[in-house]
Chains A and B, each alone.
Chain A
Amino acid sequence: MNKEAALSVAERDFILDALREDVRLDGRSADQLRPLTLSFGEEYGHVKVQLGKTSLIVRISAEVAKPHDDRPFDGIFSIAMELTAMGSPAWENGRQGDFETYVTNVLDRVIRHSNALDTESLCVLKGVSCWTIRADVHITGYDGNLIDASCIGVMAGLQHFRRPDAVVKEGQVIVYGIDEKVPVPLNITHKPLSVTFHTFDEGKLVILDATRKEEQASEADVVIGLNNAGDVCYLSKFSGSPVDAMVFVTKTTVALEKVKELNGIIDKALQADLAKRAKGGLAEQARAENDRLIG
């Protein structure tokens, strides 16, 4: 029974009528994102995402495990998301609803199946040991567009995360602690993000980054997952009323623009955090080159 309280008819009509006049409840234009802030915790791979009033925490963790028998060269990467009553009172603890399955599936498709994280680079010793990377998504506040926010969180987390260094010596795997050897960043092949659109008024109105109320009032949703290069790695029209084919064509261009914008914000936040860590960090101490005086 993971259902938010339904919108009243008056509220639904209000949202729709306003959209017909090209006005959104929070004053954004149709193709405008809510303000996005990213902050990082003390440990690597701990990201806090705030997209409007939707907020979540992503934690990335790594441990050494045995690879799957059929893929001895591959490491394991999994995305775990559990909706708890913390995110919204409508979600019940410990019970998986349709929404949770849907969001997890989209995340899996956009990030895992598009091979954003190169799993082959996680192999330590063929068929014996590999790294298991786990991304945990904790939703702390739900106000629409959970898919895009989680996607941003997981991708930022993967780029921020550093795994301990592991070395094979005479058939033995040695894992060095974070403070023994400079930890290694993950091998990211590309940076896919999802952009969700919602349609109204028989598919005539299409908006981006809907809030919870807009989501409830909408007819259908379209999720487009693509990377900076414009490669579409996921496209879905999961439920609701039909959407015109032209919407996909025109909105893919908008999505590409948004993905570039979002990746820019992520990169900037990562750079700022890296610069903060670089001071007195292990990487700084382990550096071999001298400080050069310029000028």
Chain B
Amino acid sequence: MGGPIASLHPLSRADGSASYKCPATGSNVLGSVNAPIELPGRRDALKPEDATIEVFVKPGTAPGGVGERHIEGILRGALGRIILGREKGYPRRGVVITLAVVGCDNIARGSSYLPILPALLHTSILALLSASVPLSMTFSATVLAVDSSGEIVCEPSSTDAAAAASLHVLAFTSQGHLLLNESEGRFDFDTWERVYERALAICHGTSALGSDGDVAMSENVDAQPLEGFVRDTVEDHIHREYAWKIDAA
């Protein structure tokens, strides 16, 4: 199981864009950000002191529906906490984030969006970074499934997710605080605690875990923490963009 693959700024017209592919869950998302942008005809809805964040999720092979509107709400909530909408030039303007699910196993109408939520979150943060939208911090997210025997499955495939007793999406800020938690299914507090520890280890590496010596963690020691992945993607991109300058120096 390889790590995710991402590229920054694959699109020509949008201010910022990112494509993100997660081999484990099979999701492939393309995201674009236009910011700051005038949102005409909505003067009353615009906040005078803050940017208006709009998220649009476009499913790959079906018309958008209630599931998409719900996930858009979740994304808007999480991203609204890290976008600095009061910076110069942003109040009364819009930050329009468009996410297209380009390839993944079909999400049937009414079924859960949680398995691809981390992909959507990562795509949007990378697209925001590529559009140079001011952010207070970055984040990383992961999805975990707990099967009926209480075993935790990281980044479940669509069949694993369908068979799971509960699904959890957790996002952590770059400081290691919990930013977002969406869980569904039946689980108890102990299970959630275990899921939390595991997710923190995936996003921030085992060092963030402290003295807790959970056996399950050893699986992920060799895998790169996801927080580093976001950083590396941006670093690589900047390195390539500024190659002319680095070469000249």
Contact = CB atoms under 8 A, between A and B. Distances in A.
Contact of A46 (B37, B63, B103): B103
Interface stretch (B6-14, B161-169, B206-214): B6-14
Given A53-B12, A93-B54, A43 B34 contact: no
B106 to A, nearest CB: 7
A162 interface: no
B157 to A, nearest CB: 14
B102 interface: yes
Most buried by B among A138, A142, A143: A138
Given A89-B34, A93-B56, A134-B61, A84 B13 contact: no
Interface residues of A, number: 28
Interface residues of B, number: 26
A40 to B, nearest CB: 11
Interface stretch (A54-62, A104-112, A245-253, A263-271): A54-62
A88 B13 contact: yes
Interface string B93-116: 000101010110010000000000
Interface in B38-57: 40-41, 54, 56
Contact of A86 (B11, B41, B61): B11
A87 to B, nearest CB: 6
A53 B10 CA distance: 12
Interface in B134-152: none
A136 interface: yes
A171 interface: no
A154 to B, nearest CB: 13
Interface string A68-98: 0000000000001010111111000110000
Contact of A84 (B62, B98, B102): B98
Given A42-B103, A84-B98, A138-B58, 12 more contacts: A1-B41, A57-B30, A57-B100, A84-B56, A84-B58, A85-B56, A88-B13, A89-B13, A93-B54, A138-B30, A140-B10, A140-B32
26 contacts: A1-B40, A43-B103, A46-B102, A53-B12, A55-B12, A57-B30, A57-B100, A59-B60, A61-B60, A61-B62, A84-B100, A85-B98, A86-B11, A86-B13, A86-B14, A86-B98, A88-B13, A93-B98, A134-B61, A136-B61, A138-B30, A138-B100, A140-B10, A140-B30, A141-B11, A141-B12
